[in-house]
Structure 1
Amino acid sequence: MLHKVLKVNSNDNVIVALRDLAAGEVVDFEGESYVLPYTVYAKHKFVTQDLAIGDAVMMYGVLVGRASQPIKRGEPVTTYNLKHDSEPYSTAKRQPYSWTPPDVSKWVGRTFKGYRRSDGKVGTYNYWLVIPLVFCENRNVLTLKDAFERELGYAQPDLYRDQVREFLHLYQHGQMDVIKKIEPFAGVATPKADASTTTKRPFKNVDGIKFLTHEGGCGGTRQDAHTLCSLFASYAVHPNVAGITVLSLGCQNSEEKILMDEIHKRSPHFDKPLYIFEQQQGTEAQMMSMAIKQTFLGLIKADQHEREDVPITELVVGLKCGGSDGFSGISANPVLGQVSDILVALGGKTLLAEFPELHGVEQELLNRCVTEEKAAKFERLMRDYSGKADAVGSAFAFNPSPGNIKDGLITDAIKSAGAAKKGGSAPIQDVTNYTEISSEKGLQLVCTPGNDVEATTGKTAAGATVILFTTGLGTPTGNPICPVMKVATNSTLAQKMSDVIDFDCGPVVTGEQTIQQNADALLEEIIQVASGKLTHAQRLAQDDFIPWKRGVSL
């Protein structure tokens, strides 16, 4: 039976509605009765005591805002009566931190089928990557995409093109009345790319050829050009990448030398096939023909890699949320936190990013850093990032989107406190800036924006080989080279968007499963995906890629 309400932390003075609660309804909870003067919708919160202007609102045991209007006991918190606030933080205020790892005996010795690379890293997929150093080459990249995907069996089925063709045929034969009567797809229209097209692929061990485009590389700051090269370097050394084709115009700010220097910083003994083609050295046809020839030869080499059993401790799991709702911090995000703690306890690596969505819980994270040096780096990155956001009139406090607010995330601190649950409770072993890759195991903080695609792009650059993406509202985000598993906070979403959602944490909300039970089921699914089971984002070719532009355009 679905419980009506939940208090997340004993120190909280708000209670979460697990279903719609009508005005006038009496809620009995922990020996107290609350008469609700207004409707409190599912995922929203009502206060447990009368609050005056300026009084603190606590959730997850931390300050998440202050009353901007008097709030009576039982009234919901809204954008009208609650304003963002959070506790100040400082490395100097660090407190001792201890952690009791979970029992992981059932997971010891578990394996997945991955691709071992010469540098010792293990990939979950085996992709060839085609990238442009500058936006001028986007057209050529897309031309290569069309040629390679169609001829080698990687193209998406023309599901919607077939529908247009049918309508055209009817229109040309004067059957407008038939077109008007045709019903749209009633169910899931996900292309079955893993079943119908893989049999046509000559390179059975190449999971795909991924073609990236972007709007940078020239015309912006040199910082952005260098960052773009660093990002591509991180993708080049990524264990899910077998080889790389690079298209260059020749005169852009993102120079070939910068790319190669950044690659060798990350992998001094880099030995993957990498081919660079410059358009200003001749005709477009000459460049494209040579690029096709070398890429084809490279695919033959890439096809020699085969999956083999490797310990799950070789996984690098990114932890992400987007399209969050009021259940994110009580179901899906804590489930990810439990998965993270399990993997860390086993000796694996997990990545927690989205710095704007850690605003309000900085002190807890500072306390969890294993060294003063790591904590100081986190504080420096946070203050630098938030300072730049403030300077352009877009403070972290403005972070919740209209969709977030509608579904109960009233302040950034509420959103952040729930988002941080993805990182579990393990100590933080390292802190990395955007495009940096750490050799440390354990939980790490990675500086990225909260923007869904910019965050998954950056998290992949940090080395994630599987990304867990929690969502309460639904988002189709994916990544070209890293599988993104969409994890629903509630079962209604999982059923409504079944062609997008890969895993359902709704049973945690209903009480059908504990966080531990749900996390165990999710880890089993992660092992399947890491071994080659496609996510919905992969089936849909949801290859989202947006570099974080940190400078300004010139």
Structure 2
Amino acid sequence: MSDASLILLAPDDDVAVARVALAPGAALDAGLTTLDAIPAGHKVALRDIAAGQPVHKYGQVIGVATAPIRVGEHVHVHVHNVGMANSAAEHTVGHAYRTTVPVDTPASFEGYVRADGRVGTRNFIGVIASVNCSATVCRHIVQAAQAEVAAFPNVDGIVAITHGSGCGMAGNGEGLELLQRTLRGYADHPNFAGVLIVGLGCEVNQVTPLVQMLGTRTPGLFASLTIQEEGGTREAIAAGLTMLRDMLPIANQAQRSTVPASHLTVGLQCGGSDGYSGISANPALGAAVDLLVRHGGTAVLSETPEIYGAEHLLTARAATPAVAGALMDRLAWWEHYTSTLGADMNNNPSPGNKAGGVTTILEKSLGAVAKGGSSGLMAVYEYAQPVQAHGLVFMDTPGYDPVSATGQVAGGANLICFTTGRGSTYGCKPVPSLKLATNSTLFRHMELDMDYDCGGIVDGRLSIAQAGQALFQLMLATASGNHTKSELNGLGDNEFVPWQLGAVM
């Protein structure tokens, strides 16, 4: 098939994607006439599909016809002719695994080398709440210290890391363990030169045990306090401000130096997906990931509910059967978890995804997995666990972007790459977040929020390989200090959202 108005992703697909909006009755070069209006990014039937038959896109099953579909018809949930199919793809573990061939001369970036050898891409000070009860004090400490930061040009800022948990929970078990792991990951993060931990004093998530779990920092760059011990709110704010004043000149001594790209760990996110996500931005990011891996770096694919139905593409690339088994164990956990809540794994796509042309979770997942490129899957981590392997890894997280990215950052990601077709404005202090637009219309409409336009892939101006190379260079420049649009807009102070498990009591 050849038609400038359509994008065919695999030779035997039953549908093609509209490159531009198509009116009813449009005669296309492919020899078909549209029966409906087909919005840009949505699917049109290339052949008749009987009710009950599978519908193919990407060369994979994305759903089943719930009514007879005629050639030229709009294929989408909005017209009630396609629905969810069982996720039953065959797993051939490891058959697509290929050993990564490293480059002869690894790329580099300018980063902050910390005392433990890890590398930061930013130089923040963090004020971290152990419990929601200390969140306001944390924010007031940061607000009081803002006037001081300007005198220290090597400090990128001071950020309050606050949340809605830390008490009203069991004193042991999965919920507390997960929260502590997440807070520990942020408190130890290389993008924080210094950290102040603030508690109330009587919470379940006590400050002392939390502090005992942390790694050693440079003297003068760690402190903690509790509001009750300080004598109250105002006293705690004053004490916290004094501690930050002591930290600032020490943190300001940090200097960027040239380090290999192997010190870059990139969290991969997609949010506000549309029908172009799996065609442009996600494959382009996947091409950049393959380059990053060849240069010794690490990419963290996540959002477990949004790989559902495409997991066979990852197990096929697993380095070992144990890695594939770990991934399937996490999916089994999610199937059980959602069933106990009276839900199922097909609670996606969101209304915005559907408006953009994504019909089922199978279709969304097949596009989302493309962010991981073609590199071998080297390891699987639970939420917020420290990522230690190099190459492409998977971290089990919810699909909700702020929760997912919080886990990735806690695991050590020092850069986030976030693809969007509808227009996410996500920011992520203390880690820079690059926003990759799936289409040029979005990029032009929200140019002050988007960092890169992948729309050239949609209209044929740009190959996936070219976009991947450009994105890899953008990653290195951003890691070296170039500001992202979300940083320029001041976003990222409210996006710390730990995954909350267990009963609230």
The separation in 1 between residues aligned to 2:358 and 2:453, in whole angstroms, is: 20
Which of 472, 483, 496 aligns to 1:545? It is 496
Q: How far has the Cα of 1:132 moved from its partner?
A: 0.9
Q: Which amino acid aligns with 1:23?
A: P
Report the structure number with the largest CA radius of gyration.
1
8 Å CA contact 1:358, 1:416 repeated in 2: yes
1:92-113 Cα distance to aligned partner (Å, 9 max, x none)? x5252243758956xx343211
Structure 2 match to 1:454: 403
Alignment of 1:252-271 (within 5 A): 252-263=203-214, 267=215, 271=218
* Distance change >3 Å, CA 56–CA 258, structure 1 → 2: farther
Structure 2 residue runs without a partner (length 5+) = none
Structure 1 match to 2:226: 278
SS at match of 2:474: helix
8 Å CA contact 2:436, 2:451 repeated in 1: yes
Asked if 1:240 corresponds to 2:239, the answer is no
The separation in 1 between residues aligned to 2:396 and 2:467, in whole angstroms, is: 28
Which of 337, 341, 344 aligns to 1:395? It is 344
SS at match of 1:482: coil
Q: How far has the Cα of 1:229 moved from its partner?
A: 1.6
Asked if 1:15 corresponds to 2:16, the answer is yes
TM-score scaled to structure 1, two decimals?
0.86
* Distance change >3 Å, CA 380–CA 310, structure 1 → 2: same
8 Å CA contact 1:230, 1:262 repeated in 2: no
Q: Which amino acid aligns with 2:294?
A: A
Alignment of 1:122-521 (within 5 A): 122-149=119-146, 151-153=147-149, 201-222=150-171, 223-263=174-214, 267=215, 271=218, 273-284=221-232, 285-521=234-470
8 Å CA contact 1:226, 1:258 repeated in 2: no
TM-score scaled to structure 2, two decimals?
0.94
8 Å CA contact 2:32, 2:71 repeated in 1: yes
Q: How far has the Cα of 1:457 moved from its partner?
A: 1.1
Q: Quick check: which one's helix share is greater?
A: 1
Between the aligned residues of both structures, percent identity stands at: 34
Q: How far has the Cα of 1:259 moved from its partner?
A: 1.7
Which of 104, 117, 122 aligns to 1:120? It is 117
* Distance change >3 Å, CA 98–CA 378, structure 1 → 2: closer
Q: Which amino acid aligns with 1:94?
A: V
SS at match of 2:294: helix
Q: Which amino acid aligns with 2:18?
A: A
Q: How far has the Cα of 1:289 moved from its partner?
A: 2.3
8 Å CA contact 1:230, 1:259 repeated in 2: no
The separation in 2 between residues aligned to 1:370 and 1:282, in whole angstroms, is: 52
The separation in 2 between residues aligned to 1:95 and 1:523, in whole angstroms, is: 27
Q: Which amino acid aligns with 1:522?
A: L
The separation in 2 between residues aligned to 1:234 and 1:390, in whole angstroms, is: 30
* Distance change >3 Å, CA 327–CA 259, structure 1 → 2: same
The separation in 1 between residues aligned to 2:436 and 2:306, in whole angstroms, is: 18
Q: Which amino acid aligns with 1:509?
A: V
Q: How far has the Cα of 1:214 moved from its partner?
A: 1.2
8 Å CA contact 1:324, 1:471 repeated in 2: yes
Give the 4+ runs in structure 1 shifted more than 6 A: none
The separation in 1 between residues aligned to 2:86 and 2:313, in whole angstroms, is: 12
Q: Which amino acid aligns with 2:118?
A: K
Q: How far has the Cα of 1:81 moved from its partner?
A: 0.9
Structure 2 match to 1:49: 47
Structure 2 match to 1:162: none
The separation in 2 between residues aligned to 1:310 and 1:413, in whole angstroms, is: 40
1:72-101 Cα distance to aligned partner (Å, 9 max, x none)? 12212121111112432687x525224375
Structure 2 match to 1:77: 75
The separation in 1 between residues aligned to 2:474 and 2:51, in whole angstroms, is: 47
1:508-528 Cα distance to aligned partner (Å, 9 max, x none)? 111111111112122222222
The separation in 2 between residues aligned to 1:147 and 1:496, in whole angstroms, is: 36
Q: Which amino acid aligns with 2:95?
A: P
Structure 2 match to 1:534: 483
Q: Which amino acid aligns with 2:93?
A: R
Q: How far has the Cα of 1:286 moved from its partner?
A: 3.2
1:131-162 Cα distance to aligned partner (Å, 9 max, x none)? 1111111111121121111x125xxxxxxxxx
The separation in 2 between residues aligned to 1:502 and 1:302, in whole angstroms, is: 29
Q: How far has the Cα of 1:17 moved from its partner?
A: 0.7
